[in-house]
Amino acid sequence: MMISPNAGRLVGYARVSTVGQDLAYQLQRLAEAGCVTVFEERRSGKNADDRPRLRKLLKSLRPGDVMLATASDRVARDPVDLVNILQAVKDAGAGLRLLDEPFIDTTSEMSDLIAFLVGWAARWHRRRILENTAQGRERAMRRGVRFGRKPKLTVTDQETIRERKRQGESIHDIARAFEVSESTISRTLGAPHGDPAGLLM
């Protein structure tokens, strides 16, 4: 459903990443657009959950309101976050308009297309992350990097355990000294030297 830009309040959102950056341009654009209330934030845009002023703005929205910002990267750096923010705005019965990116305007007749495109971008972003992670893991494995839980005991630990057992120390006392179970010590004594098999946490 298209939302009339005159049906409710114009609520602005301005964000910079650090205290030293300037909000002047964003505040001027939002004032010129008619915003009376502007929520200012000086925090990274990586995660919407880490931005209390944004959360407060979203909670304040009422049906017919329009949230204004200058550009998409002021609202969210991550397409997935942008989808979630758009959904929160929609659930409030409000709209979102970006002044420097007029193609993002959920109060227009193109709102359904905008939601589709933003959702597609978020899915593409997630897929790329998964692909990059898988490729990085494959490259690491080819270099000999081993994944999984690290052994409780190093090779040096194993040699020390064997020596202490040869000196007559009990498995119980050795296990207490290394803060592992007695079964771990038993597996160590039964495994070939330098073989951590069976010693995983």
111 is catalytic: no
* 42 in Cβ contact with 18 (< 8 Å): yes
Q: If we measure between CA atoms, which residue out of 120, 103, 91 comes closest to residue 1?
A: 91
What would the two tokens of residue 2 be? 């298209």
Spelled out in words, what is the top-level CATH class assigned to the domain 10-123? alpha beta
- For 97-141, the pLDDT digits (tens) are 989 888 888 887 655 655 556 555 556 556 665 666 666 676 766
Sorting pLDDT into bands at 50, 70 and 90, what band is 201? very low
Residue 13: what pLDDT? 96
Give domain limits for the chain: 10-123, 155-190
Residue 178's H or E segment, with its range, is helix 171-178
Catalytic residue among 17, 60, 108, 186: 17
Give helix then strand counts, H and E, for the chain: 8, 4
